[in-house]
Amino acid sequence: MKQKTFALRGNIFYSTDSKNIKAHEKSYLVISDGKVEGVFETLPEKFSGIEIKDYGEDLIMPGMTDLHVHAPQFPFRGLGMDLELLDWLNTYTFPEEKKYKNLEYAGQVYDAFTEALTASPTTRAVIFSSIHVPATKILMDKLEASGLITYVGKVNMDRNSPEYLTETTEQSLRDTEIFINEAKNYRRTRPILTPRFTPSCSDELMKGLGELKKKYNLPVQSHLSENPSEVEWVRELCPDSKNYADTYDRYGLLDEKTIMAHCVFLKDDEFELMAERKAFIAHCPQSNMNLASGVAPVKRFLLRGINVGLGTDLAAGASLSMFRAVADAVGVSKLRWRFINNEQKPLTFNEAFYMATMGGGKFFGAVGSFLPGYEADVIVMPERNSGVRREHLLERLEQSIYLSDENVKLTAKYVKGEKIF
């Protein structure tokens, strides 16, 4: 679709690499055909006469990419953040994900989720749905209509899960292929293969997903090395694999179109495998704190040149805000420096901002910066300084408190040059 050339004016910020943020006061971001032409302090002659939207003193920056978020967990974010992993899964996650057999419920939640995501600093996201194809299609319909650009995955689970969330291997693969074919009708909403994680996917299922990946040339998202007991469990489940990362890699599920969430406890050979495969790591600082997972060695990822972005990991992260993810990434890196490895410096703000924009954006191509040629995902905000009700009154208190810090009100959002609001 041909778009005209136009400019946004304001205080403009963007990363040029993991260390540097460029800042231009009262400048022009020129966009043409959905791509960045450049940022100019004075509008060049050749652009004279183009439409200029002046945002005054507002901040203009690249839209953020949420590399890891579970849409069906939206209703219970901010709940059970004082539980340990297994209690949290059994109390909230699994019972909630079961509900997405009900399409009316799915529609209600995915409306609220899409609305919140659209209002947030996120312009691109890589999203887990549930095992249910019809509900996943509802989610994709709503995301497509929002104007955001996303990957969405129907989840695969054929073992070690509650009965009501366990598919047979055949059904899981058959449903995935249906899902892939139905996803062809969307422009902005793309399918991604989504084995939940090794403990809930048999070798046969992984093998089948590897074949689907090849057949349809699809990206993959999953979880890797989130917590010590999980790592140990995978070792027991997959005695033939060299390590946890290999349980995906040996079925062709680990390449430059793969996102692995967490990677808190990678062993050296896994670390090198992630680098060689050019796979992406979704660092989820708030989730890793809330579930007592630990703190991933993000500085080391950056120094080694591993692709790394940030994820909110809703609802293990209570906040859908990528601004919180930026602040939390810096915060937990301080505790890592203090407690785990004082030879790895904490993250800088610039590094965290880079991961939230350019780092994660790279999964979508030239996304997350205002360097010339980048796709024009833009958020505008003033300087300065969830939708399904709980039965239980105490939960309503807890949730209200956890969610009350998420009310940033953006002035405008553009995705690939198209104005969303």
Give the footprint of its own copies on this chain (CB under 8 A).
Answer: 11, 13, 21, 23, 25, 59, 61, 78, 81-82, 84, 286, 289-295, 318-319, 321, 323-324, 326-327, 330-332, 334-335, 337-340, 346-349, 352-353, 381, 383-387, 393-394, 396-409
Q: Closer to its own copies at the Cβ: 277 or 299?
A: 299
Strand order in the sheet with 122-128: 64-70, 122-128, 149-153, 189-191
Identify any residues that bridge with 307 across adjacent strands, giving them in sequence order. 280
CB 54 within 8 A of CB 48: no
* Residues 179, 132: Cα–Cα separation, whole Å: 9
In whole angstroms, the minimum distance from the beta carbon of 311 to its own copies comes to: 16
Complete DSSP assignment for 15-83: ESSSS-EEEEEEEEEEEETTEEEEEESS--GGGTTSEEEEEEEEEEEEPEEEEEEEGGGGGGTTSSTTS
Q: Which long-range contacts (CB under 8 A, 24 or more apart) does 172-176 make?
A: 172/131, 172/205, 172/208, 173/205, 173/208, 173/209, 173/212, 175/131, 175/133, 176/209, 176/212
Tokens of 353: 């901002």
In whole angstroms, the minimum distance from the beta carbon of 393 to its own copies comes to: 4
Q: Closer to its own copies at the Cβ: 167 or 328?
A: 328
Q: Closer to its own copies at the Cβ: 59 or 127?
A: 59
In whole angstroms, the minimum distance from the beta carbon of 365 to its own copies comes to: 25
Q: Closer to its own copies at the Cβ: 122 or 189?
A: 122
Q: Closer to its own copies at the Cβ: 67 or 347?
A: 347
* Residues 387, 312: Cα–Cα separation, whole Å: 18
* Residues 178, 360: Cα–Cα separation, whole Å: 28
* Residues 257, 218: Cα–Cα separation, whole Å: 8
In whole angstroms, the minimum distance from the beta carbon of 325 to its own copies comes to: 10
Q: Closer to its own copies at the Cβ: 114 or 290?
A: 290
* Residues 311, 362: Cα–Cα separation, whole Å: 14
In whole angstroms, the minimum distance from the beta carbon of 61 to its own copies comes to: 7
In whole angstroms, the minimum distance from the beta carbon of 210 to its own copies comes to: 33
Q: Closer to its own copies at the Cβ: 247 or 333?
A: 333
Q: Amino acid identity of 303? A: L
* Residues 28, 50: Cα–Cα separation, whole Å: 11
Q: What share of the chain is helix, strand, coil (3-state, %, to 5)?
A: 40, 25, 35
Q: Closer to its own copies at the Cβ: 1 or 393?
A: 393
Closest by CA to 284, choosing from 296, 297, 270, 268, is 296
Tokens of 270: 């896994």
Closest by CA to 223, choosing from 68, 72, 66, 96, is 68
In whole angstroms, the minimum distance from the beta carbon of 107 to its own copies comes to: 18
Tokens of 33: 């055909």
Tokens of 46: 């050749």
In whole angstroms, the minimum distance from the beta carbon of 351 to its own copies comes to: 8
Q: Closer to its own copies at the Cβ: 374 or 402?
A: 402
In whole angstroms, the minimum distance from the beta carbon of 386 to its own copies comes to: 4
If one counts every other C-beta atom within 10 angstroms of the C-beta of residue 183, the result is: 22
In whole angstroms, the minimum distance from the beta carbon of 383 to its own copies comes to: 6
CB 308 within 8 A of CB 347: no
Q: Closer to its own copies at the Cβ: 253 or 291?
A: 291
Q: Closer to its own copies at the Cβ: 202 or 319?
A: 319
In whole angstroms, the minimum distance from the beta carbon of 74 to its own copies comes to: 10
